[in-house]
């Protein structure tokens, strides 16, 4: 039996590369596995040798101790791999295929999946609609920051790349298809971005930068990215975005200086529940509703706000009791008075990933450059997590099996 090394959460601020079981076509008991999922047979699954697997800001929330994630939870929901074994129920996916894995696990059989709502599949997580690899309260499917990983419902979930050599040549771009590129693009689509739009994106982390690249792909006239981190703002400027340091003053005033009007057509929240107050600079205090409230002020009447940024129902490190259970002090009246619309929740990756793959393969977008992707070894994951948490303007891509060295 092959060995399997993986990145595990060991407590607030700590990850470690550990030995775990090689995957089998059955969901075993372990950290975070819902008891109702223990023993679940996966004849429709495929085992992948991981080609690349990325560190995500959503992982970082868990590693900071800001969720109820259990110790030894294997992390990683951004997975690209080579199929090395398929279950007896797999018909179309073949051994040797290079594939992208949508971070949200879906069955392809339930009402929501059939309606394209793959982020809220009804059959893969006994706790609630929606599931993901290596994530708290998402059913207990083992994470993909590992040498090998099991993917259920392989014929449905896996996006096969049409040409192996081409895929490996563009793998640093294609690895973004598992989550952040579709997620950022979904934020822009949800905000109604189209040709000629003015767009404001809160957050210059990888999802915010992916949203900016997505807005450009959709034809936006001006894409403005806001953050407190100057290094990340410089990364946004590197591919043609305007930027705002929200610590330098009122967002609406800064938009007015850039655009000549104090509002945008569309806005995206790529920050989520660990948002910090504007105007506080490097010492800004946490204020979980501040981004959403500022976007309601900054978005024109009748506009839309896409919210790919993560919000949770359990935050042990929250600033107050209400935020601890996901209750935020929103100025909902502002949103109502301006007839704004909001779209939240997991991105339905399969809605976008094939089209975005084609844009990558035909050089219409260079997403790895936009998010400053950097490959590191699996054993280097703790350093990657630490540097990302410290604010590095880098998207860390783990290379467990040496494919990225080829």
Q: Are 106 and 113 in contact (CB under 8 A)?
A: yes
Q: Domain 5-179+348-405: give its CATH code.
A: 3.90.180.10
Query: How high is the pLDDT of residue 351?
Result: 97
Q: 28 exposed, middle or buried (CB, 10 Å; 0-12, 13-18, 19+)? A: middle
Residues 211 and 57: their CA atoms lie apart, in Å, by 14
Confidence at 315, pLDDT banded by 50, 70, 90: confident
Instruction: Report the chain's mean pLDDT, rounded to a whole number.
Output: 95
Yes or no: say if 241 and 223 are a contact pair by the CB < 8 Å rule: yes
Query: Quick one: which of 146, 39, 41, 35 has its CA closest to 101?
Result: 146
pLDDT confidence of residue 316: 87
Q: How far is CA 100 from CA 56, 67, 177, in A?
A: 16, 27, 7
How do the domains of the chain map onto residue ranges? 5-179+348-405, 182-344
Q: What is the mean pLDDT of residues 193-217?
A: 98
Average pLDDT of span 13-27? 96
- Write the pLDDT tens digit of every residue in 320-348: 888 888 888 899 999 999 999 999 999 99
Rounded mean pLDDT, 85-97: 98
Q: Does residue 82 have a pLDDT over 80?
A: yes
| Per-residue confidence band for 156, with pLDDT thresholds at 50, 70 and 90 | very high
DSSP string, 237-271: HTTT-EEEEGGGS-HHHHHHHHHSSS-EEEEEE-S
Q: How far apart are the first and last CA of the chain?
A: 26
* H/E run at residue 2: none
129-143, 156-170, 264-278, 282-296: least confident range: 282-296
Least confident of 51-60, 131-140, 228-237, 314-323: 314-323
- Supply 385's token pair: 């997590």
Structure-token pair, residue 314: 């359990």
Cα 265 → chain centroid: 24
State how far the Cα of 399 lies from the Cα of 81, in Å rounded to an integer: 11
The confidence score (pLDDT) of residue 308 equals 95
| Paired strand residues for 126 | none
Q: What percent of the chain has pLDDT over 90?
A: 88
Q: Binning pLDDT at 50, 70 and 90, where does residue 280 land?
A: low
**pLDDT tens by residue, 208-244:** 999 999 999 999 999 999 999 999 999 999 999 999 9
Q: What is the pLDDT of residue 278?
A: 66
Closest CA to 180 of 85, 330, 56: 56
Cβ-contact 244, 224 below 8 angstroms: yes
E strands of 87-158, at which residues? 98-101, 148-151
CA 299 vs. chain centroid, Å, equals 24
Q: How far apart are CA 123 and CA 128, in angstroms?
A: 9
Q: How far apart are CA 135 and CA 142, in angstroms?
A: 8
pLDDT at position 281 is 56
Rg (CA), the chain: 20
- Spatial separation of the C-alpha atoms in residues 326 and 80, rounded to whole Å: 32
**CATH of 182-344 among 2.40.100.10, 3.40.190.10, 3.40.50.720, 3.40.50.2300:** 3.40.50.720
φ, ψ for residue 332 (rounded to 5)? -65, -30
Stretch 11-37: mean pLDDT: 95
Report yes or no: 32 and 73 within 8 Å, Cβ to Cβ: yes
Number of Cβ within a 10 Å radius of residue 23: 24
Per-residue pLDDT band at 279 (split at 50, 70, 90):
low
Taking the C-alpha atoms of residue 154 and residue 393, their distance in angstroms, rounded to an integer, is: 33
């Amino acid at each position: 039996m092959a060995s399997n090394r993986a990145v595990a959460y060991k407590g607030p601020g700590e990850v470690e590369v550990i030995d775990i079981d090689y995957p089998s076509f059955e969901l075993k008991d372990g950290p975070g596995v819902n008891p109702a999922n223990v023993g679940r047979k996966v004849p429709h699954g495929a085992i992948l040798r991981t080609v690349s697997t990325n560190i995500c800001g959503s992982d970082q929330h868990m590693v900071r101790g800001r969720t109820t994630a259990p110790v030894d939870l294997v992390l990683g929901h951004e997975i690209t791999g080579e199929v090395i074994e398929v279950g007896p129920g797999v018909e179309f996916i073949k051994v040797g295929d290079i594939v992208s894995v949508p971070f949200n696990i879906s069955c392809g059989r339930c009402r929501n999946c059939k309606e394209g709502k793959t982020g809220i599949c009804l059959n893969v997580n006994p706790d609630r609609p929606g599931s993901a690899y290596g994530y708290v309260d998402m059913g207990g499917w083992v994470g993909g920051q590992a040498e090998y990983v099991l993917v259920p419902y392989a014929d449905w979930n896996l996006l096969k790349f049409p040409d192996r050599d081409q895929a490996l040549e563009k793998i640093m771009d294609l690895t973004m298809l598992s989550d952040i590129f579709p997620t950022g693009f979904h934020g822009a689509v949800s905000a109604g971005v189209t040709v000629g739009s003015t767009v404001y994106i809160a957050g210059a982390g990888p999802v915010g930068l992916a949203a900016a690249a997505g807005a450009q792909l959709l034809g936006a006239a001006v894409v403005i990215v806001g953050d407190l981190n100057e290094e990340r703002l410089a990364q946004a400027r590197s591919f043609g975005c305007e930027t705002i340091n929200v610590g330098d003053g009122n967002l609406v005033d800064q938009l007015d200086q850039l655009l000549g009007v104090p509002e945008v057509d569309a806005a995206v929240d790529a920050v989520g529940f660990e948002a910090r107050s504007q105007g506080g600079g490097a010492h800004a205090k946490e204020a979980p509703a501040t981004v959403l409230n500022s976007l309601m002020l900054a978005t024109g009447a009748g506009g839309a706000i896409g919210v790919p940024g993560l919000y949770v129902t359990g935050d042990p490190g929250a600033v107050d009791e209400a935020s601890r259970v996901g209750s935020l002090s929103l100025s909902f009246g502002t949103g109502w008075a301006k007839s704004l619309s909001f779209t939240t929740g997991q991105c339905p990756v399969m809605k976008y990933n094939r089209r975005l793959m084609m844009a990558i393969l035909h050089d219409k977008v260079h997403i790895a450059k936009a998010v400053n992707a950097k490959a590191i070894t699996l054993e280097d994951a703790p350093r990657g997590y630490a540097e990302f948490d410290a604010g590095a303007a880098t998207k860390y891509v783990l290379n467990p099996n040496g494919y990225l060295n080829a």
